[in-house]
Amino acid sequence: MRLTLADAAEPIDTLGELHSDTQAVYWLARCPQTGDMQLWRWAADSNEAPQCLIEDAVGSRVNQYGGGSYTPLLEGIVWVRQHDQAIMHRDHHGASHCWQKRPQTAYGGLCADSKRQRVFAVEEDTHGQRLIAITASHRYVLAEGRDFYGAPILSDDGNYLAWVSWSLPDMPWQRSLLHLAQVTANGRLTAFERWDFGAAISQPQFGPHNALICMSDHAGWWQPWQVSLATPLCLSSAPVDHITTPWQLGERQHAWRDNRQVYCQLHQGAAQLYRRSGEQVEALLSAPGRVVSITLAEHGDYAIVQNACCGARLIRFNENGSRKCLVGKVVSNVTKNLVTEPPATAQWLETRVGNAGETVHGFFYSALANRTAPLIVRVHGGPTAATYPIYDPLVAYWQQQGFHVLDINPRGSGNFGRHYRECLAGLWGISDTDDVIALVNAACARFAIDTARCFIRGQSAGGFTALNALATTPLFAAATSLYGVTDALSLSAKTHRFESGYLAWLIGDETQLAQRSPAYHVTRCQRPLRALFIQGGNDAVVVPEQTHAMARHIEQQGGEAQTLLFDNEYHGIRHPQARQTMLARELAFYQ
């Protein structure tokens, strides 16, 4: 059965933010009608169907990328209402009340303090960020003075609180600190401790006996370290990343409870999930792919995962080795499994780049037609995000339409160690373009590709790379930029605070910011260029003025620029109808 345009428009991030308590497991699921995230609950060990608890859009806007937008609390839920960032409480009777609402203030990274009937949160306004505790009637500032805060986590006995912080110009995957404090009887913090490994620390968790465990990449990889010892101890020295790049608050890709650990490891860009009980280690996934979120409870171990054969699924892993898919395997009101026929599997593709024995790699998906076919190259955002060998309905749709697809992880991408990520330092606009060209040439040498019809598309930071590649090499017939960076110098002056210091690390001073940008290369290109621009009107990360200016540059140089603007969208196109419109326009553009 062939996929429809509606199938292709289904995003891959349909499930997220997994939590549990003694009675149930909770998660966010994207509403098929609106594209918003809603909160769902399944009562553990029951025959009841999952229940939608919060139909309103749930979502944090801290750092623009959010995360940690709800937490269970005393048989109820505390959650962030997306449209106004109010902190809401839904009690066990189903009634909702507003705990906190401030103008131009966002909340995220929520963590429950059941012992004191309150919630910890990161609060962000025009003055900066702080770590707070909040109840229905009171708000306390617990920590401030650093530029950013994240990942608050409370020990099971309620006596210790840990969190991370970082300050500009650093990003949380470059340099961050781990904090620990004792929580006093009146709820205040005392006996502060701090760890600084000279690198990045992420996702702190408490294990048995209040052991503080975090992920640190100071040894070259995101690895688990127990820090609450006289000498920090590495708990898994495997030379691979154990978590992904921390773009959001509240991420959890490792968990520790009683005598067991559940964690992931990323090999060649694909994540396998493991469970250790005592000395026994078992792989939990039949095929590696992506691990979105993990939670452990007395009633089971749960994870949201994706692989090459299906979309996002919520799975319970039982102690006896059996598993149960709670969401994502069958058509339901929660999510829809879009796999209607086995898609062509990803083929690992790698080639040498640079002068230091470095390589660039990605995943190649062959067109279903057995003939020479055009190629669509996809560049992810970030640029420290990553692409995975998982089922993506859009890739499957393009395969059915007769296109090869190449997903690339250029240098700077996450999931391949700190060195690979830092290869981009000072070289964005150079090494990423070189990587795209090298990997596409390798693909053309290996596969039956119509070299006259190679297209490139990129979102956010990926749009920057896609447009630069279009302007600097005749390899590509056209490019699609989805809310992509076009003028780094202008962006550095207008972008949001979270990334305000990032461009200097990626590129350099004002002269380099200007000369590395697509706007600079387009005005010097002697060929007429073709590009499609897709943009959200409310985008605060890459403002719409950048997109319109770039389109004018191309037209002034004799090229063709099409622009598709969605007034009510932000940094990313979410509404299902808007996504269908976007993809129909993009397919017509390539055809």
pLDDT bracket for residue 56 (50, 70, 90): very high
Which residues lie closer than 8 Å to 10 by C-beta, 6 or more apart?
311, 336, 338, 393, 576
Distance CA(92)–CA(74), nearest Å, equals: 8
pLDDT at residue number 331: 29
pLDDT over 80 (residue 567): yes
Residue 481 lies in a domain: yes
What is the mean pLDDT of the segment spanning 104-108?
Answer: 97
pLDDT at residue number 339: 41
For residue 457, the surrounding DSSP H or E stretch is strand 449-459
CA nearest neighbour of 504 among 112, 174, 118: 174
What does residue 580 show for φ and ψ, rounded to 5 degrees?
Answer: -65, -45
Lowest pLDDT segment from 428-437, 474-483, 521-530? 521-530
pLDDT over 70 (residue 298): yes
Which residues form the domain of 493? 347-590
Which residues lie closer than 8 Å to 242 by C-beta, 6 or more apart?
215, 221, 222, 223, 224, 236, 253, 254, 263, 264, 265, 266
CATH number at residue 488: 3.40.50.1820
Q: Are 457 and 479 in contact (CB under 8 A)?
A: yes
Q: What percent of the chain has pLDDT over 70?
A: 97
Task: Write out pLDDT tens, residues 8-36.
Answer: 888 888 999 999 999 999 999 999 888 89
Lowest pLDDT segment from 202-206, 335-339, 382-386, 446-450? 335-339
Task: Write out pLDDT tens, residues 228-271.
Answer: 888 999 999 899 999 999 999 989 999 998 889 999 999 999 99
pLDDT at residue number 356: 77
Question: In total, how many domains does the chain have?
Answer: 1
What does pTM read for this prediction?
A: 0.92
Residue 115 lies in a domain: no
pLDDT at residue number 340: 44
Average pLDDT, the chain: 92
Residue 59 lies in a domain: no
pLDDT at residue number 335: 39
Residue 271 lies in a domain: no
Residue 223 lies in a domain: no
The CA-CA-CA angle for residues 579, 584, 585, to 5°, reads: 100
Residue 439 lies in a domain: yes
Lowest pLDDT segment from 260-274, 331-345, 477-491? 331-345
Task: Write out pLDDT tens, residues 503-534.
Answer: 999 999 999 999 999 989 988 888 999 999 99
pLDDT at residue number 309: 86
pLDDT bracket for residue 75 (50, 70, 90): confident
Q: Are 330 and 370 in contact (CB under 8 A)?
A: no
pLDDT at residue number 333: 33
pLDDT over 60 (residue 67): yes
Residue 83 lies in a domain: no
pLDDT at residue number 338: 41
Task: Write out pLDDT tens, residues 82-96.
Answer: 999 999 999 988 899
pLDDT at residue number 452: 95
116 DSSP assignment: G
pLDDT bracket for residue 343 (50, 70, 90): low
pLDDT bracket for residue 344 (50, 70, 90): low
For residue 16, the surrounding DSSP H or E stretch is strand 15-20
pLDDT at residue number 345: 83
pLDDT at residue number 13: 87
Query: What secondary structure, in 3-state letters, does 18-42 show?
Result: EEECCCEEEEEEECCCCCCEEEEEE
Lowest pLDDT segment from 73-82, 153-162, 493-502? 493-502
Residue 333 lies in a domain: no
Q: Are 569 and 537 in contact (CB under 8 A)?
A: yes
pLDDT at residue number 545: 87
pLDDT over 90 (residue 477): yes
